[in-house]
Amino acid sequence: MPKYFITFVFAGTLLLFAGCGRSDSDIQTYKVAKEDSSAKPPIMSAASREETRPALPRLHWELPKGWVEQPAGEMRSAAFQITGKDGQTGQVTIIPLPGAGQKELESVNMWRESLGLEALTSQQMTEQSESVDVDGVKGRLFDMAAAAPKTGEKLKTRLLGAIADRGNILWFIKMIGDDALVAEQKPVFVSFLKSLSFEDASPQMVAAAERPISTNTKKLPPGADAPKWKVPANWQEKAPGPMITALYAVTGENGAADVSISKFPGDVGGMLANVNRWRGQLGLPAVSEQELGNAAQMVEIGGKKDAYEVDIKGVNARSGKPARLVAIAVPRENETWFYKLLGDEAVVEKEKSTFQQFVAGAY
Amino acid sequence: MSNILNFFTSLRLTVACLALALGLVFIGTLAQVKLGLYVVQDQFFNSYLIWWGPAGSNFKIPVYPGGYLIGGVLLINLIAAHIKRFELSRKKIGIFVIHAGLILLLVGQLVTQLFQVESFMTIEEGGSRNYSESGRMSELAVIDKTDPQTDLVVAIPQPILQHRKEVAAKSLPFKIKVDSFYDHSIPELAGSKLLFKQEALRTSMNARNIPAASVTIETDSGNFGPFTVSNWLSEDQLVSDIATSFESRFAPNLVAPPSFKYKGHEYQLFMRPIRYYKPFTMQLMHFAHDRYMGTEIAKNFSSRIKLLRPETGENREVLIYMNNPLRYWGETYYQGSFLPNDAGTVLQVVRNPSWLTPYIACALVGAGLVIQFMSHLIKFARKRSAGSAGFQPAVSPVSRQAAH
């Protein structure tokens, strides 16, 4: 009898083990050295970026006519593109530099250097500046133009730079572009500076980490339910990326293609922006509002003729290979669904009608 | 009592368990199509019973024994039967060794299932890491940043956040109230706020679920929050995805970690993959993605690593490549994957305390079989040679006639 007892005790213990949790289901407490930035990968994490950046105010503005908002970047709180007559262009950027109170002269001279102008002394800088109102704060405006066009360019470059010191953050608002256009835009730029308003981050905002520094506070209501699509038998499901709802591979005798489905709130910049983004992915130049009718066509999906489709050929910017893209955007409720068939031309040609039916059948 | 013993030592029970195990593998394989590998592993194999309930209802009934139950009963049956019939004799030594091998295989698999930890170490070329990260599970890291040299981290794993409304840890002077937890979420930009919307759980083998939670810090003197935490806010690649998606409407501060001050301490909250810290650092010196000449077909992936361990003074180079892992500190580092544009390596890190048991078990079973068959063969050969001493060949009538 004792030998059976040993058996049951042994097996019972093992089964009890099975009921126990593993170590990664317990709360762990430990000390670690603060992460050494030199040991970190070159790409800084969002968290570490924030560690070097104090809570920045929320920025509001009145968008001048003809200015197009551009993606903000690592350093830029906001950016705008301006297009003038005869293809003249200009860009406006807003850059906050926390704790950079002593860097005004250095920054102005950097602007001047970029235009091939000599550096100024502190006194000269003061003399050459104009007073400008930036959300109730007196800022300084600098207007400088290159003496001659840069090598290979026809037009001279002009720069309007405003610097406003708000607390411990120095704001640099700069317009740079073709001389005539920037000169023409100067009053607009000054009005834009006046329209800027800075909403300081409250302690609650800092704590809640809801501290955007740039926003066009557009309301984006929650999205609609997912469409019901039926996947063709020859499409193989692949692992989608985090922002991709579904991804399928289509292979043919003469290559391969991917079908990707994603959705985003709102109109994601609108039809022109989306069509130009797709064109950019195949290395094609952007089209204007007037050319949009030829670049994309409206299609009826689910009884609504608000979807649009493009069929373009070019070179895939990621792979560097020739590619064709058939893309359909379907606006629904408060979100937009994007369907893309991208890959080798022969496969895309063969799958195009299946793809179109797939999208149409989902609604 | 004897009935129970007879039941647990019966060969019928062995056959029934093996048949149930076959059935379990079959239905588990089919279920993977819909549920994915990891859900099936949890619900079918790492459980005592498989539960079923009508869709949309909380009512559930057990419909089939799970892997732990079948394996456990089989183990009891195997050990009990073996003890019951155990007989220390040379004749049975082969059988004994085979059974010992089988028992070791079952026990080893159970230990593996219970204690194996799989994680990934991602290192960019030139960068270094002293921790690996879970590929599936996240944790809420409450980090006390007050000390200028070190961070005090209290890591609350995802299962606790999923199942508890309130979390208290001895090393924290406050409680964490879990207002909501989403196993998988996608970000939405609602006005100037980044919100997270619950999405259906992804079960595909390669698809990843990205959790998000809303938590409130409850102190004696009031609450902080609610704070939104998610891997979307803490992982570079996910932040990059958000930035790409929201383009000009994205601002870096949208992904700032929630922070607050309490009793003179500064805390930050991060939802991130579960981290497993090591007492050593690995620096990626070079990652190579070799291709067959003139093609894009991969020939080899390799990572040249510098292993630095201050406490032992180790500072050596290691080359990890396909089928040539590094075994170190009870862990095995495989060349698992790589970053886009060959910018770095992803090492698969496996800690399995019973990694040797399958080898030993197979060797035991093999040795047992050899012993068993050899003993029979020797016995047979002896019998044959003993018989051949008085052997009179039988001559057929035909051959007799032919002889004449």
For residue B233, pLDDT over 80 is answered with yes
Mean pLDDT of B90-102: 87
Residue from the list B167, B191, B254 with its beta carbon closest to the beta carbon of A219: B191
C-alpha B121/C-alpha B128 separation (Å) is: 10
Residue of A261, A293, A260 lying closest to A275 (CA atoms): A293
Quick count: other Cβ atoms within 10 Å of Cβ A204? Answer: 11
pLDDT digits (tens, 9 = 90+) for B23-40: 999 999 999 888 888 889
pLDDT digits (tens, 9 = 90+) for A262-277: 887 677 778 888 898 8
Inter-chain CB proximity A29 and B186 less than 8 Å: no
* DSSP state letter for B324: B
Looking at residue B170, what is its pLDDT? 87
Which of A36-50, A91-105, B290-304, B362-376 tops mean pLDDT?
B362-376
- Residue B18's pLDDT is 94
Q: For residue B387, what are its two tokens?
A: 């018989």
Local confidence band at A152 (pLDDT 50, 70, 90 cut-offs):
low
Across the interface, of B150, B251, B274, the residue whose CB is closest to A33 is: B150
Q: What share of chain A has pLDDT > 90, as a percent?
A: 17
Q: What is the number of other CB atoms lying within 10 angstroms of the CB of residue A177?
A: 23
pLDDT of residue B248: 61
Distance CA B48, CA B109 (A): 15
**B191: exposed, middle or buried (C-beta count within 10 Å: 0-12, 13-18, 19+)?**
middle
User: In 10 A of CB B184, how many CB atoms?
Assistant: 18
Contacts of B210 in chain A (CB under 8 A): 242
B279 upstream amide cis, omega within 30 of 0:
no
- Residue A230 DSSP code: -
- The residue-averaged pLDDT of A249-269 equals 82
Whether the per-residue pLDDT at B9 is higher than 90: the answer is no
Q: Is the pLDDT of residue B281 over 90?
A: yes
Residues in chain A within 8 Å Cβ distance of B227: 207-209
Length of chain A: 363
- Contact list in B for residue A31 (CB cut-off 8 A) is 150-153
List all residues 6 or more positions away from A159 whose beta carbon is below 8 Å from its beta carbon: A111, A114, A115, A142, A143, A144, A145, A174, A175, A176, A182
How far is it, in rounded angstroms, from Cα A267 to Cα A338?
Answer: 11
Chain A's closest residue to B270, CA to CA, is A47
Output the pLDDT for position A5. Answer: 58
Chain A residues within an 8 Å CB radius of B13: none
Distance from CA of B59 to the nearest CA of A (A): 22
CA B102 to chain centre: 22
Interchain CB distance below 8 Å, B149 and A34: yes
pLDDT of residue B110: 85
Distance from CA of A143 to the nearest CA of B (A): 27
Distance CA B110, CA B114 (A): 6
Tell me how close the Cα of A220 comes to any Cα of chain B, in angstroms. 5
For B356, phi and psi rounded to 5 degrees?
A: -85, -20
Task: Out of B127, B249, B256, name the one closest to residue A50 (CB).
Answer: B256
Query: What does the pLDDT look like over B306-340, one tens digit per residue?
Result: 999 988 988 999 999 988 999 999 999 999 888 87
Hey, are the CB atoms on B190 and A238 less than 8 Å from each other?
A: no
A27 → closest Cβ in B124, B156, B254 = B156
Output the pLDDT for position A214: 29
- Residue B141: pLDDT band with limits 50, 70, 90: very high
Band of pLDDT at residue A220, cut at 50, 70 and 90: very low
Residues of B in contact with A239 (CB under 8 A): 204-207
pLDDT of residue A70: 64
Amino acid symbol at A322: P
Higher pLDDT, B343 or A330: A330
Residue B322 has which token pair?
A: 């396909």
The answer to whether the Cβ–Cβ distance between B114 and A17 falls below 8 Å is yes
Measured torsion, CA atoms of residues B178, B179, B182, B187, in degrees rounded to the nearest 10: -120
Q: What is the mean pLDDT of residues B161-173?
A: 88
The owner of tokens 């970029």 is A114
Mean per-residue pLDDT for B97-104?
A: 90
Asked if residue A224 has pLDDT above 60, the reply is no
Q: CA B79, CA A4: separation in Å to the nearest integer?
A: 9
Structure tokens at A246: 């579904």
For chain B, give the percent of residues with pLDDT over 90.
40
- Tens-digit pLDDT profile for residues B217-226: 998 888 887 8
Instruction: Nearest by CB to B155, from A11, A27, A211: name it.
Output: A27
Q: Is the pLDDT of residue A68 over 90?
A: no
> Which range among A16-25, B111-120, B187-196, B346-355 shows the weakest confidence by mean pLDDT?
A16-25
Task: Please state the rounded mean pLDDT for residues A202-218.
Answer: 33
Nearest-Cα distance to chain A for B189, in Å, is: 7
- Number of H-type helices and E-type strands within chain A: 9, 17
User: Residue A14 has what pLDDT?
Assistant: 60
List the single residue in A7, A74, A221 with the smallest CB-CB distance to B79. Answer: A7
Residue A39 has pLDDT above 50, yes or no: no
Q: How large a percentage of chain B has pLDDT more than 70?
A: 92
How many Å lie between the alpha carbon of B374 and the closest alpha carbon of chain A?
30
pLDDT surpasses 70 at B256:
yes
- pLDDT tens column, B339-374: 877 888 999 999 998 889 999 999 999 999 999 999
Instruction: State mean pLDDT over B248-253.
Output: 67
Q: What is the mean pLDDT of residues A297-305?
A: 87
- Count of A-B CB contacts under 8 Å: 226
Stretch B89-100: mean pLDDT: 86
B169, β-bridge pairs: none
How far apart CA A328 and CA A275 sit, in angstroms, is 10
- Buried b vs exposed e over A62-92: b needs ≥16 C-beta within 10 Å? eebeebebbebeeebbbbbebebeeebebeb
Does the pLDDT at position B389 exceed 80?
A: no
A47, A242, A269 ranked by CB distance to B241: nearest: A242
Element of type H or E holding B230: strand B222-230
Q: Give chain B positions within 8 Å (CB) of A269.
A: 247
Residue with the bigger pLDDT between B27 and A59: it is B27
Better-predicted residue by pLDDT, B256 or A257: A257
- Tell me if A145 sits within 8 A of A127, measured CB to CB: no
How many beta carbons lie within 10 A of that of residue A152, not counting itself? 5
Which residues from chain A sit within 8 angstroms of residue B167, using beta carbons?
27
Query: Looking at per-residue confidence, does B239 or A17 come out higher?
Result: B239
Angle among Cα A128, A133, A135 to the nearest 5 degrees reads 145
Strand blocks (E) in chain A: 28-33, 58-60, 67-70, 78-83, 89-98, 130-134, 137-145, 157-166, 169-178, 197-199, 236-238, 246-252, 255-265, 297-301, 304-315, 322-332, 335-343
Find out whether A4 and B5 touch, Cβ atoms under 8 Å: yes
Q: In the prediction, which pLDDT does A233 show? A: 83
User: Distance between CA atoms of B225 and A313, rounded to whole angstroms?
Assistant: 50
Q: Which of A3, A6, A15, A92 to mutate to test the interface with B (most CBs of B within 10 A)?
A: A15
Handedness of CA B380, B385, B386, B391 (dihedral sign): positive
Give me chain A's average pLDDT, please.
76
Which residue of A31, A209, A219 is in closest CB contact with B151? Answer: A31
* Interchain proximity A206–B197, CB inside 8 Å: no
Residues of A in contact with B48 (CB under 8 A): 18
Q: How many other β-carbons are positioned within 10 Å of the β-carbon of residue B147?
A: 12
Contact B126 A42 (CB under 8 A): yes
Query: How much is the CA Rg of chain A, to the nearest whole Å?
Result: 28
Torsion of CA B23, B26, B27, B29, to 10 degrees: 150
Residue pair A297/A308 in contact by the 8 Å Cβ criterion: yes
Residue A44 pLDDT grade (very low, low, confident, very high; cuts 50, 70, 90)? very low
- Three-state DSSP class for B84? helix
Fill in the amino acid letter for A313.
K
Chain B nearest CA to A249, separation (Å): 14
| Structure confidence at residue B101 (pLDDT) | 93
Instruction: Report the pLDDT averaged over residues B256-263.
Output: 85
Q: Please state the rounded mean pLDDT for residues B171-191.
A: 86
